[in-house]
Each structure stands twice: as C-alpha cells, then as structure tokens.
Amino acid sequence: MTLDEKLGQLVQRAGGRSKALNSRLDDAELERVRTGGVGSYLHVAGAEPLAKLQKVAVEESRLGIPLLFAMDVVHGYRTIFPVPVAMASTWAPESQERAARIAAEEATAAGLHWTFAPMIDIARDPRWGRSVEGAGEDPYLGARMAVAQVAGYQGGNTLRPGALMATAKHFGAYGAAIGGRDYNTADISERTLQEVYLPPFYAAARAGSGSFMVAFNDIAGVPTTANRELLRGLLRERWGWQGLMVSDWGSVGELVNHGVAADRAAAASLALDASVDMDMVGGVFAEDLKSVVTKDPARLKQLDEAVLRILRVKEQLGLFDKPMQYHDVEREARELLAPDHREAARAIARQSIVLLRNEGKLLPLDPGKLHSIAVIGALATDGLSELGSWRAQGKVEDVVTVLKGITAAVPGIRISSAPGADPRNDDLSGIPAALKLAKAADLTILMIGEDFDQSGEARSRSSLELPPSQMELARRVLALGKPVVVLLANGRPLAIAELAEKAPAIVETWMLGVEAGNAVADVLFGKYSPAGRLPAAFPRTTGAVPFNYSANATGRPADPDLARDTVRYHDLPITPLFAFGHGLSYSEFGYTDLAQSSQSLGPGERIDISVTVENTGGVPADEVVQLYVRDPVATIARPVLELRGFKRVELGAGQRKRVTFSLTSEQFAFWGPRGQWLVEAGRIDFWIGASSGDLRASGVFEITETHMGTAPAAALPTRVIVSN
Ligand code: BGC
C-alpha cells in the first residue's frame, strides 16, 4: 500500500443524512473512492445504492479494498423498537438482544456492515440529554444490556461474514459530564471510573464488540480522543481488545479546542498515538496525518497498525471474499418491517412500560364499564416522537400512535381527542377545548412529557420538570376531579412530584417505537400486566440530582429525622420520588424461603442465594427479582447498596418459582488503594427485593480470604437459575 492508500483507510466520510440519505455520494465522491481516499462511510444505507458504491471501491480502485458502511442503528433500523432507556426498563437482556438481532437483520439486508451502538454510558445525571440512549444509572444492569446488544448485533462474540459490527460507545466516561451538560468535562476519581463507568465497556470488550468509539469529552483534562493510557494502555494492552477504534464526529480536530493540540497535525498525532484508528468525518487524518508520519517513524508504525486493524474487521466481515453479500435487494424488501419484527416490537414495547403509580387500582381499565374516553395531549398523536431521536430508517407512517392503538383496542368505546398543549411550546390556547372533552368523557387518558427532540445529543436540560405547557395541561385536567390516567413520554427521568401527588395513575411509556400505541393499549386494558422497572431513579426536584441509590456510605447516613445533621437536603425527604428498580404490577408477589448454599465464600467458589417468588395477586404477571449487596466493612468506604443480580420471571396467577442467584467472590471486588481489583475477607450483606427501595429478605455470608480480582466486579454476570 502506498502511504496515501494507507491514510485513505483511516478516513470515514458522511454520505448525507440531514437532507437526503446518500445525497453526498456524487461524482467527486466516487472519484475519492476510486483513488483509495476513503475507508468507510457513515450515514448511508440501501442495498442498491451501496452496492454501486462498493463496486467502485472493489472494481475500480487500485487495491480493490472494500468500504465499510456504517449508521447509527440504535434501537431498530426500519422496525423501530423502544428507545434504549426504555428497553433497559424491561430488565430483560434477552429482549434487548432480540431487538438488536432484528435491527441487525434489517440493517445488513440494507447494505450496512456497522452500527454505532450500543451506547453504554452510565447516566447518573438525568439532565444529560443522552440519558435516553443508555441503560440508566447502574453499571451491573448496564453491563448486562451492553453484552445483550453486542450479541444481538453481531450474532456471536466474534465478527463473521454477514454480521453487523457493534460499537461500544462512548469510551470511557461520556456520561459523567459535569452538570449533565453534553460534551462537558468528567472530573471523576479513578475508582469511580473503574467501578461505575468502565464495567459496561469491559463487558462489551469481552463480548467481542468489533469496534469502540471514543467519547467527545475529557476526563480530568485528558480528552478521550488523545487518552493513550485509557485507549492503548487499559483497553488494548490490559483488557486485550484488538478491534477498530473510531473517533467521534470530528473529535480528532476538537483536540485543538480542548487546548491539548496546537494545530490539526498535532491533534492527528495525539489521536493516532492514543490508538484511534479511524477519523469520523473530521478530515484530520485525511489532510494532516501525512506530514506527521513522514517525520516520525514511530507514528508510521502506528499508522500501519491502525490500517491493519481496519483491514482485519473488513476481512472478518467477509468483505474481501464476498463484498456484495450485504446487497441483496430482495432480502432487503423481505426483512424491513417484516410482520414478525413488528410483533417483537410490540412485545418488547409492552415489556418496557413502567407503572409508576396506581392509586385505588384505577388500572387496568375495564372496557365493559366505559362508554367514552378522552385522549388528551399532543404526544398521543405524535408518531415521530415515538421513534425517538435515533430513528435510522424508521418512518412516521409505520407508527401506531397512542390514539390509534387505543381506538383500535376498544372499538365499542367512544373516543374523543384533542392536543390540549404541545411540549414544544407554551401555547395554552388549546386547553379549554381539551377540558370540554375530558368533562364529557367517563375517563381521560392524558399523555404528556417531552417530544423526541427534548432529549438526545446536545439536548441537555437544566430543568427536569415537565415542560410548562404540559404541567399546566395536567393541572387543569386533574382539577376536573374525574378519573385520569397519565401517560408519560420522555427520554430521561423527570421530576414529577406535583404530578405524582395529584394523578392517581401514572404510566411511564418513554418512546416506544412503531408499536407504541398497541403496547400502551395492551397495558391500559389489562391484556398485559406491566413489569418494567426504572433503570434510573426519578428525583423529587431537579436540585436533587445527581442522586444515586448506590452511593458510598458516609459518616452521617441520611436520616428522615431533621433534628439530626445527616447527608441530605433539608428541604426534601431522603428518598427519591421513584427508586431505582421501581415499577408496579397489576398483581402482587410474595417473597419467601430465602436460603443460601453456604455461610462462606472462598476464591474459586460459588455461593447460591435462592428465594421463592409467588404471584399472589390473581392475574398472570412478570416480576423482576433483584439482588443487592453491600460490603459493610472494607478498607475503602463502599456503596450502601449495589445491584448484583436480577431476573424477570413470568408467573401465572398463583404460580410460584424458585429463583437462584449464583455468585463468585470476584463479584465483590473493588478498586483497591493500589489500583487493583481487590476482594477483602469479611462479611457481605445481601438483600432480595422488588426494587432498591423495596427490599424484602436479607442475609449475610463471609468472604473467607483476601485476594485479587481480575475484572471490574459489576461487569461479571451472576448466574441465575429459575425452577418450578
Ligand atoms: C455522536 C455519536 C454518533 C455519531 C455518528 C456523534 O455526534 O456522538 O454517538 O455515533 O455522531 O452519527
């Protein structure tokens, strides 16, 4: 390869998304491909247009190296599934994997080799707009969802021909942006980085994610795009991961803005040295790396390594042998929005719904007792919002909106509807008309919240309150004193204390994808008992964040008694509004017969913790059984609770099942004082519960020996066995 051909492999260019897909692939662009100046395109799609482009690379360029085609296929390609924070609410990694598998089947049929997903950043400050794209606040839950997605996208833990390559992003602490302001500095301790932010990445690396993407931001002043210690040192050398590292959009050039590079050439040099292989869109490797590598033999060697890593994934995906494998137009027509894909989207959407509140058992609704329903709220007819902010090739006309879903579910009931108010503006003029309908109806279903563009990248918000027009609409509808069910749509935990005080029934629907309306109707009318659980707590006010259930023990543990001076706000209760793991059901569950296989746990051994869960409430329903642990005395103050196991269990009315969690001592390792995973001898407390705020049974055991751990504890999976 000539130097130019090598540099060309490192270049990723955009094919055009904001105007029309593939719109930038004009003659000049084809010429670049012909001369070997491009290694990959993003924001492209379509079996046929991409076949033409691939042919130019394979047949008309000197070396015939195939291109890599990428897109953000985040929660579906054409069949759009719930947004990631919603899918995390299923607490069912198997569902998350299924959704990713279907997305991969559609995307690979449409010419794509590579998705920029999963996003596995831990989000502990819901002001951060990208909370919607991840699995919430917890590293253990996050790691499980990360592994499920990598497995789903790639169809296994090594890349094979025909697979969709996954991207674990944004390595390593993008979600820790100070104040939740997107792109902001993360100023966190090494321990927090290792224990909280990195475990999902470790799990994704182990699961064989073919690529990683760096974060835009810096950690304590070191921009990740130039973080040699993190990228080359930790990820590649210590974790042994050898995949393709892509920059984020223009992040190589942004090293100049960060103030760690004087110019673009210096930025290129730093990024390559850190082991960034491909430059997404910025053009810095394309234009400024040549001068660097011609002057510095060390960089030239690193260039060769980067090229090799890019060629290796192309090889693994089968592109050298069968470059046209991803371009079967008939398969594309068959796959996109296939009936079984829609069915899966409906099933997973219902699993994602979280019943936050249900006073007086207002839900489920009995259609036999209702003559008329008013469906109020602009979001109830907003199909685009159900698709979320990364909709890939999702189309608004594919969406069953909430109004449509309800109308179809209860043909015998008169349905009226009005927008009332729209989250995008402060116009309240539509409220009187909505109130008129609400007054005339037996029951109101009020859908309020954020639209798709109020969360997502660069959509951080300083307030977690409902947009003002939404709250005002809710106040006035609720003031009528008639039965109201509130449906929330949003991409982050919100501060809804006032609403929770006034509204008897609140259903969290996030943004549920193409089958949103059907899924919501299934839950409202009792065809399906909700069992989603919050993957992040809902605070009482914006000022209460960040708030995390898994906080370190302090010298003054929070106490409800205000006369004591403890770690709390004086003007708020010590609990969040809705705890991590919270979610109600139409049924009830008993937890009995807690047992443990041993009183002690040594290195290389396992301990089994079992409990019987019984559905005592008379309707079939799922329950999410959660295991929390605490190391009460260690050299380092440890979190008061940590999730270390969970299982979503299906239970018929009256049915009981035995759930067994099996753990190893390594799962109790913490980042020790010498910068190593350390398991200390001593007592471990554990609890089984229905949420972090609803612990039902507890026990203790003893770790017998102090020893080293080898991996981030939260990344290691607990084995779960369910028996009858
Ligand atoms: C985002 C990434 C995304 C990329 C390509 C960036 O702005 O941070 O998450 O994959 O754009 O669309």
Q: What is the pLDDT of residue 671?
A: 98
- The encoded tokens of residue 258 equal 């960060």
pLDDT at position 184: 98
Instruction: Calculate mean pLDDT across residues 161-176.
Output: 98
What are 364-396's pLDDT values in tens digits? 999 999 999 999 999 999 999 999 989 999 999
Q: Is the CB of 457 under 6 A from ligand 1?
A: yes
**pLDDT one-digit tens code per residue, 628-639:** 999 999 999 999
Q: How far is the CA of 149 from the centre of ligand 1 (A)?
A: 17
For the CA of 216, the nearest atom of ligand 1: 8
pTM: 0.98
Whether residue 171 has its Cβ less than 6 Å from ligand 1: no
Q: What is the pLDDT of residue 398?
A: 98
Question: From atom 11 of ligand 1, which residue's Cα is the shortest distance away?
Answer: 249
Output the residue whose Cα is nearest ligand 1's atom 10.
116
Provide CB contacts within 8 A for 364, sequence distance 6+.
523, 524, 525, 526, 529, 586
Cβ(332) – ligand 1 distance below 6 Å:
no
Per-residue tokens: 93: 């990694």
Name 486's bridge partners.
Answer: 446, 506
Percent of the chain scoring above 70 in pLDDT: 100
The CB of 248 under 6 Å from ligand 1? The reply is yes
**The one-letter amino acid at 371:** H
Q: For residue 275, is pLDDT > 80? A: yes
Mutation test residue for ligand 1: of 40, 41, 457, 459, the one with most atoms within 8 Å of CB: 457
Q: Is the pLDDT of residue 17 over 90?
A: no
Query: 24: which residues sit within 8 A by CB, 6+ positions away?
Result: 13, 14, 15, 16
Rg (CA), the chain: 26
- Measuring from atom 8 of ligand 1, which residue has the nearest CA? 248
pLDDT in tens, 2-15: 999 999 999 999 99
How many Å apart are CA 420 and CA 559, to the nearest integer? 42
* Tens digit of each residue's pLDDT (9 = 90 or more) over 521-567: 999 999 999 999 999 999 999 999 999 999 999 999 999 999 999 99
Ligand 1 centroid vs 249 CA: distance in angstroms? 6
Alpha carbons 608 and 628: distance in angstroms, whole number: 14
Question: Does the pLDDT of residue 439 top 90, yes or no?
Answer: yes
For every residue of 38-75, DSSP letters joined together read -SEEES---HHHHHHHHHIIIIISSS-PPPEEEE--SS
CA of 457 to the centre of ligand 1 (A): 8
* Atom 6 in ligand 1: residue holding the nearest Cα: 249
Q: Would you say the CB of residue 328 lies under 6 angstroms from ligand 1?
A: no
pLDDT at 108: 98
Is the per-residue pLDDT at 19 higher than 90? no
Q: Cα of 203 to ligand 1 centre, how many Å?
A: 21
**Is residue 508 within 8 Å of 379, Cβ to Cβ?**
no
Q: How much is the average pLDDT of 224-241?
A: 98
Give the position, in ligand 1's atom list, of the atom nearest the Cα of 117.
10
| Model pLDDT for residues 300-345, shown as the tens digit of each residue | 999 999 999 999 999 999 999 999 999 999 999 999 999 999 999 9
How far apart are the CA of 117 and the centre of ligand 1, in A? 10
| CB-side neighbour CA atoms (13 Å) of 287 | 11
Question: Which residues are the active-site residues?
Answer: 248
Residue 179: left (phi > 0), alpha (psi -120 to 50), or beta?
Answer: left
Task: Compute the distance between CA of residue 384 and CA of residue 415 in angstroms, rounded to an integer.
Answer: 22
Are the C-beta atoms of residues 654 and 615 closer than 8 Å to each other? yes
116 CB within 6 A, ligand 1:
yes
Is the distance from the beta carbon of residue 254 to the nearest atom of ligand 1 less than 6 Å? no
Q: What is the pLDDT of residue 18?
A: 76
Q: Find out whether 107 and 331 touch, Cβ atoms under 8 Å.
A: no
pLDDT tens string 455-490: 999 999 999 999 999 999 999 999 999 999 999 999
Find the 391 Cα to ligand 1 centroid distance in Å: 13
Over residues 347-355, the mean pLDDT reads: 98
72 lines ligand 1 (CB under 6 A): yes
Q: What is the pLDDT confidence band of residue 84, given thresholds at 50, 70 and 90?
A: very high
Which ligand 1 atom is at minimum distance from the Cα of 119?
9
Question: What pLDDT, on a 0 to 100 scale, did the predictor assign at position 157?
Answer: 87
Q: Rounded to whole angstroms, what are the CA distances from 670 to 176, 302, 331, 606?
A: 20, 34, 48, 18
